[in-house]
Structure formats: C-alpha cells, structure tokens
A and B are shown apart, each in its own frame.
Chain A
Amino acid sequence: SQKIEQNSEALNIQEGKTATLTCNYTNYSPAYLQWYRQDPGRGPVFLLLIRENEKEKRKERLKVTFDTTLKQSLFHITASQPADSATYLCALAGGSQGNLIFGKGTKLSVKP
C-alpha cells in the first residue's frame, strides 16, 4: 500500500542549530513533493514545493532535497529559532482527485 512516513514524531533542538526532518514514501512516483507548517489548532501553511527533476530547493533559511531513488525528502531549517517551533508536514499529490496525501508530521521544538 502507499505510505508516507515522517519517521520522527518529535524533534527537539537548540536555537541556532540546523533542524533536519525526514519524509519517506513508498509505492508512489510523485511528480513533486510539498512541505507545510502547521501550528496548533490551525490549518497547514504551504512552505515549499520541489519537483522530481529538482534535487534541492531553498527559501530563506529553508532547504528541501528530493531523492527519487531513495524515495526520500529532507527538510532543513538553518539557524533555527524558537518561532520555528511547529509541526511540519510533508505531502504528495498521490490521490485520485489530485488531492494531497499527508504524513503525520514531525513536531519541532526549538529551545532558546
């Protein structure tokens, strides 16, 4: 069956360090992958989209990599800040309606 796994439910790091979150998928051949941020009691907010022919994408302190051979995406936040604390979701457009299929998310906590 198709699966998207974010193998860390929670990640705690110190302010200023780089946070690295992992997203693995099986039985998909996605044309692209997306990362979202979700704060408690709020809807997801789109961060980055990376296509299958892109190895890496950057946006300010964010960096996403996409390895279609490993079926894995890594999401990095450099120089992390307490304000970066949130749950980060990866998603693929794998549904029959073109809908997104989400991982469970990784809850990032950045300590001052």
Chain B
Amino acid sequence: GAVVSQHPSWVICKSGTSVKIECRSLDFQATTMFWYRQFPKQSLMLMATSNEGSKATYEQGVEKDKFLINHASLTLSTLTVTSAHPEDSSFYICSARLARLAVRDTQYFGPGTRLTVL
C-alpha cells in the first residue's frame, strides 16, 4: 500500500531555533503533498499545499517566511519552522496524493511530528 513517512517523529527545541521536518512517500510518487497542523482536540488544519517543482501555496494566516516548504522531488517534501516559538508547538502531519490512482483524491498521511518549543 501507499506509505508516507515523516522524520523526526518528535522534536524538542529551544525558542529561536529552526526545525526541519521531512515527509517522504516510500513506494509511490506524489505530485502533491499537503502539510497540516493539529492542536490538541482540534481538527487538522491545512497549512500549505506543496507541488513538486513549484512554490508552495500557503493558506491564509500561515506565514510563508516562517514555514518554509520545499518539494524538490516526487518523493520528498520538507517543512522548516524557522525561529520557532512556543506557540508553534503542535503536531505537524503531511499527506501525499496519488494522482495516478483511480481514486485519485485519496490522501495518505504520515505518522506526524510532535514539535515542542521550549
């Protein structure tokens, strides 16, 4: 089946540092990857859409200079939280869309990355 991995699974950092999160599609090519953020007891909120080879599209209210997204290949997208602050502490989840499948809009999610900023 379609597997998406994320690395790291959790990270603790000091305020002001930058953190990079990787999202990989392991057994398929993903032309589109999505980055979501989830706060406790809240729904997943889309942060940005990442298309391979082009600039990411950010949702309203998400600072593109703070959350840098790179989708350099069909199997890898990275999210870098720059100058992280405690309010950025959250659960970050990526998903990948398999455009070539019949059910093309099914998304497969990574296991998530728990970011804690001290």
Contacts and interface: CB of A to CB of B under 8 A. Distances in A.
Nearest to B57: A97
Interface of A: 4, 9, 32, 34, 36, 41-46, 49, 89, 93, 95, 97-105
Residue of A32, A100, A104, A105 most packed against chain B (CB within 10 A): A100
Interface residues of B, number: 25
Nearest to A44: B109
30 contacts: A4-B43, A9-B41, A41-B91, A42-B111, A43-B6, A43-B93, A43-B95, A43-B110, A43-B111, A43-B112, A44-B44, A45-B109, A46-B107, A46-B108, A46-B109, A49-B106, A89-B43, A89-B44, A93-B105, A97-B46, A97-B49, A98-B32, A98-B97, A99-B49, A100-B34, A100-B95, A101-B46, A103-B43, A104-B42, A105-B43
> Which has the most chain A C-beta neighbours within 10 Å: B43, B44, B107?
B44
A42 B112 contact: yes
B28 to A, nearest CB: 14
Chain A binding surface SS class: loop
A65 B106 CA distance: 18
A26 to B, nearest CB: 15
A98 B32 CA distance: 10
A44 B93 contact: yes
A102 B112 CA distance: 16
B114 interface: yes
Given A43-B110, A44-B93, A93-B105, 19 more contacts: A9-B41, A32-B105, A41-B114, A43-B6, A43-B109, A43-B111, A46-B106, A49-B103, A89-B44, A97-B32, A97-B34, A97-B57, A98-B32, A100-B34, A100-B46, A100-B107, A102-B44, A103-B43, A104-B42
